[in-house]
Each structure stands twice: as structure tokens, then as C-alpha cells.
Structure 1
């Protein structure tokens, strides 16, 4: 039986662990409250840039040492940045817990050398260019910028070409010292965890973290202007695009909302890639290549996305069909058969994901970082079981009937 334990170190670092000694692996990660919404215009893309720099070496390890030692531990390791957090994680055999904690903790005191910074800047610029060349050509970023505004949750995780080119290593060092403080970080662990040993190691390894300098806050942005490199036109003209890409946002439930469980089930009924209402209406009929919908939860906000890909001349009619499916779902509800099927899929997925500590790590760490609470697998299953047709109908009416914010990416001017 899994056991959840927490502890706050003397320096303010929070530790949250879902412990199950039946597991054959241990997953550990640092969850840092540093994401795109925490940046200013001059810092746009800095959280993601900094994530890259964490693998470039420390005072005691070179970049080669960091990568070699991660490989030596034999597990899976990586990092990612989102609008609200940056995460560094790995999964290893339990006997390597101490070595992994030492390595990850050391990585969170990076050298941030100027030569590495200048080299990695080019990697980031290539990543931005590559992403902008791929469908749907930045349409998701654009719709977030229009819906939330170009700052906060609407700020691009990668930043812009302009912000990355003008960025300086001193700005990164200041950002690191402001955001990477122990009280702003959660160490999460799942699986076969030696919790007491973990706490003892962290007390020693992180004792100097509070000594990091505290730079002044950067100048505030001018809310009356757009950040450099940002446009909020709802139409993206892509010269070589052969299809049209429509992205829409409705309001959705946050991570703190009880509506999030019913919304996930509703999304399965409405927009799963196979067997959903949008699938049968638009994909199975050959009208569209992609037609899907899903909720995205943030700490204090949420969004319902819908996404349609089809031939440009079919976009307007297909968009109306998609709207019709969503409106009918909100007005008429769902069938008992649909609901039971979606609940069974959600619970099966939940159970299968819970078998791996590496999967549970992100749920435990992200939730404790943003909400300061814990949802067990059993509790999640009970939440799904309790959902009935009335709950689905209420959530559908709450979120699907408002006029959406939309962006279209295509080679020619089309309407939806």
C-alpha cells in the first residue's frame, strides 16, 4: 500500500513522497516554481533556456560528468519547462537513490558560464525556428497570447527569437537566484523510496541554498505595449501549408476546481482520437484529418482547447460541425453507454499509469508544488467512479457554450 509523506527542511525546501516498497524503481524530481508566467518581457524564454543550462556543469562536475553519471545510473532522466514550472527528474533502481539525489541537487547549482550560455543560445534559436516550421505553425502559442494576453499564462515557453537574441547571462543569473530558492522548490519522490535517508541527504546537500544572493526584481513590463516579436492577429498566413489549422480556446477548470474530473471524462466522450463524437462526425467521415478537444489545467485558471485540421476549403463547414457537436453535447448531455465507456477508459489508464513510479512522480510533484495537496490513485479512481450524467451535463454547459477565442493557420485567408 502506498504511503504519502511530506517534510519541510530547515531551509524551506519541501519534500513530498508517495512511498511503495513493492516497487522495483525510485523516481525523483525537483519541481521548481519557475515558468513562462514568472518572466518579464526581457526574460521571455529564460526558464526554458535555464533548464538547458542545468546540464552544462557545476562547480564540481563538467557537462560531460553530468551526462555520463546520469547514464551510469542506468535509468531514465530528463527535464521540461511549462508555463508554471520547470522539472528535473530521473528514475533509477532504489540502490542508486543517494547518488541520484546528490547529482540532481548539484545540477541545481549550475555554473552558468558565459561561453556555455552563448553556445546554448544558438540551440534555443534553432529550436524556436524548428517549431515555427512545423504544423500548426505556432497557432497554439498565438491563441494563448490572445486569450490570456501576451504575458503571464499567455507568454511563450520558448520565448521569441528577439528575446533570446537580446538575452544576457547576467539576466539568467539574476533569474536563477530569484526563482531557484528552497522555499520555491519541491523535491518529489515516488516508488521504493527511503524517505528518512532522503531527508537526511537533502538537509546536508541543500544547506547552502538560502545563501544565494537575492537580486532586485526586474523592471515591470509596459502593459500597453506588445512584447517584441509578438503579434496577436488571429490569422497566421503560412506560405507552404497545404492544410488549414484551427485552434480554439474556451474557458476551462483549474487544477483547484472540482470540475476537472468531469471535464476529463467529457473530453474523452467529446474529443478522444478514436471513438469520440468528434471522431465519428469529422474523422471517420473523411472530412478532417484531426478533430479533438481537451481541457488544460493551470494552477488558478484553465482552458478548453479544440483543434481541427482539414483542407482549407472545408474549414468553415467543418468548424460548424465541430461547434454543433459541442453545442448538442452541452444541451442534450451524453448517454449512459458513452459515460461508462469513458469512465472505464479513464480508470484503466489511471491504474496502468500508477504501476510506474515515473508516471506518478509528475502528478505528485506538480500538484504539491501548485496546490500543496495530494491526490492518491485510489482517490482519483473514486472521483471518476462518482461522475454521473448530471455532472457531465453541468460541466458541458459551464464550459462549452461560450464564444471561443480562435486562431487559424493556413496558406490562404480562410474563415471558420
Structure 2
């Protein structure tokens, strides 16, 4: 059976591992409490920009060295940034544990060279332009901006062209010194892991991380203004769009709320991509290309999304169909048969995902970073199996009948 172990180093770095020596691989990752919600206006997009820069060399390795060594280890490594965290991870054979931890730890102290910063600025701008050209054309970002406001959880992870074009390397260095402190990070591992060796190595490699001087906190933003490059118009006019993209948002459970398990099951019953109520009413009938719902959980709040993609002429009628489905589930709740189906599907998915250390790593590291809490696979299965019709029906009444905001991206 997997064993969970954790410790906190003298410098504040937390280490958490789910150890299963039966595995053929081991996954490692640094989880940093650094995301879009932690930025101010002149830093908008900086967490994601910094993620790119962490691969651009250190005092010990060039950018080419970093990528070459990842290839040499045969590791599957990458990184991602969200509203609340940035994660750097890799999966390797257990015999390469020391080398991958050395590499990832070295990357956590990047050079942040001005020349690399200027080069990567163009890469980020191209990424923003490419993203804005793809459906649903920034509609999800607009929904978050309207629902949460254009700052905090509503701030764009990529930033805007305006914020990236005016960003300074000095601002990035100051942000790095504020957010990439050992007490604000978790080193997580899963699979065939030598935990004692991991702790010993990490303590040596991070020994001087706490000595980095803390820069001053930037001035707060003026909440009476809208950041440059941001619009809170609820209609996005897309001249070349052939379909319409409708997003609705209302309240949802946070990542700390017990309702989250019932709400996930509710989303499967109502809007799963196969076999759900919306699937049979809109997808199977050919009325829409996409008709789905899901909860999105953040540390201290959450949201419930409804998403529709269809011919512009059918938006009104399809929206009415979705509302009818939601109204029925709020009024009558869910049926035991459809809940059992959702639980069986979620249970199978949980078990299959748990077979790979790389899959287990993300839930382990994120949960320990944000809530200092560990959920084993058995814990998750117990939560799923304990769900009943009453709990899921109550979640429908609580989260599907509140005030919502609506964003439409379509040709006018």
C-alpha cells in the first residue's frame, strides 16, 4: 500500500510524498503559491512569464543544458501556471531521482537574464495572440473578469498584450523574490521514491533559499479603474466566428468545501460529455456541438460553469433547453440510477489515474500546498461511494439556482 510522508525543512520548504515502491517510475514537482491572483496590474501575466523564464538557465546550467538533461533522463517534464499556483514537474525512472531533483531544484533559482527576458517577451505575446484567435476567443477569461472582477481570481493568467509589452525584468526579479521563497513552496513526489534521500538532498540544495532579501510589497491597484487591455463587456464580437460560444457562471464550492464532491457528481449527471442529461437533449440530437456544466474550485471560493457551443441561430432555443434541464434537477433532484452511473465512472477514473505516479503528483502537491491536506486514493473512493441522492440534489438547489453572469462570443 502507498505510504504518505511529509516534513518541513528548517528554511520552511515543505516536502510531501506518496511512496509506492511497487511502481516503475517516480514523479517529482515543485509547487509554488504564485499565480495570477497574486499579481498587481503592472505584473499581470508575470507568473506565467516567469514560468517560461525558469527554463532559461541558472548559474549552473544554460537553457540548452536544462532541456538536454531532461532529455537525457528520459523524463516527461513540463510546467504550468494557474490563477493560484505554478508547478514544475518531471517523471523519471527511480534510479534518476537524485539527478532530476538536482535539476528541478537548480531551476528554482534561475538567472532571469535581461536578454532572455526580452526574447521570451515575444514568445508570450505570440502565445496571447494565438490564444485569442482560438475559440471561444477569450470568453472564459471574460467570464472570470466579469464574475470576480478584473483582478484577483479574475486576472488573466497570460496577462494582456499591454501588460506584457510594458513589463520590466526588474519587476519579474522582485516578484520572484517575493513568491519563490521556500515557505511558499512544496516539493512533492509520488511513486517509487526514496523519501529520506529526497529530504537530505533537498535540504542541501535549498540551504540558502531563505537568505534571499524580501523586496517591498508593490502598491495596491486602484480598484476604481479597469486594467489596460481589459474589457468587461459581456458580448465579444467575433467577425469570423461560425458558431456562438455561450458561458454562464454562478457560485460554486471552494476546494475546502465538502460540497465539492456532490457538485462534481452533479456535473457528471447534468453535463458529462457522454450519457448526461444535456448530452441526450442537445448533443445526441444534433442541436449543439457542446453543452456541458462543471464546477471550478479555488482555495477560498468556487464557480459553476455552463458552456454552450452551437449555431448562432440556435442559441436562444438551446439556452432554453439547458435552463429546462437545470430547473428540473433543482426541482426534482437526481435519480439514483444516474447517480450510480456517475459514481461508477468517477470511481473507475480515480482508480485508473492512481496507477500512474505522474497523475497522483498533481493532486498531492496542490492539496498540500493550498490546504496542507492529504487524500489517498482510498480516501477519494470513500468520498465518492458515500454520495447519495439527497446530497447531490441538495447541491443542485444550492448551486444551480443563484444569480449568474453570461458571456457570449459570436458574430454580431
State how far apart, in whole Å, the 2-side matches of 1:334 and 1:214 are: 52
| Counterpart position of 2:375 | 375
Q: Indicate the SS of the match to 2:199.
A: helix
Separation in 2, partners of 1:205, 1:403: 50
Is the partner of 1:242 in helix, strand or coil? coil
Indicate the residue corresponding to 1:390 in structure 2.
390
Q: Secondary structure at the match of 1:286?
A: coil
Alignment of 1:13-412 (within 5 A): 13-412=13-412
How many angstroms does 1:82 deviate by?
Answer: 0.1
Q: Secondary structure at the match of 2:328?
A: helix
Separation in 2 of the partners of 1:208 and 1:323? 57
Q: Following TM superposition, by how much is the alpha carbon of 1:326 offset from its aligned partner in structure 2, in angstroms?
A: 1.0
Secondary structure of the residue aligned to 2:214 is coil
**Deviation of 1:228 (Å):** 0.4
Q: TM-score, normalised by structure 2?
A: 0.99
- Structure 1 counterpart SS, 2:228: coil
Which digits, 9 at most, give the CA deviation of each residue in 1:206-236, with x for residues without a partner? 0010111211011110000000000100000
Which consecutive residues of structure 1, in runs of 5 or more, have no partner in the other structure? none
RMSD: 0.6
SS at match of 2:80: strand
1:265-315 Cα deviation digits (max 9, x unpaired): 111111111111001111111111110011111010111111000111110
Q: Distance in 2 between matches of 1:24 and 1:373?
A: 26
Report Cα offsets for 1:37-71 as digits up to 9, x if no partner.
Answer: 00000000000000000000000100000000001
Which secondary structure does the structure 1 equivalent of 2:245 belong to? strand
SS of residue matched to 1:31: strand
Deviation at 1:330, TM superposition (A): 1.3
Size of the aligned set, in residue pairs, is: 412
CA distance in 1, matches of 2:274, 2:342: 12
| Deviation string, structure 1 residues 145-165 (Cα, Å, up to 9, x no partner) | 000000000000000000000
Q: Distance in 1 between matches of 2:43 and 2:82?
A: 15
Distance 2:66 2:48 in 1: 18
Summarize deviations over 1:235-285 as a string: whole Å, max 9, x none. 000110011100111110111000011111111111111111001111111
Instruction: State the 1:403 CA deviation.
Output: 2.5
1:245 aligns to what SS in structure 2?
strand
Name the CA distance, whole Å, in 1 between partners of 2:16 and 2:303: 28
Instruction: State the TM-score, normalizing by the size of structure 1.
Output: 0.98
Unaligned runs of 5+ residues in structure 2 are: none
Distance 2:212 2:125 in 1: 29
SS in 1 for 2:296: strand
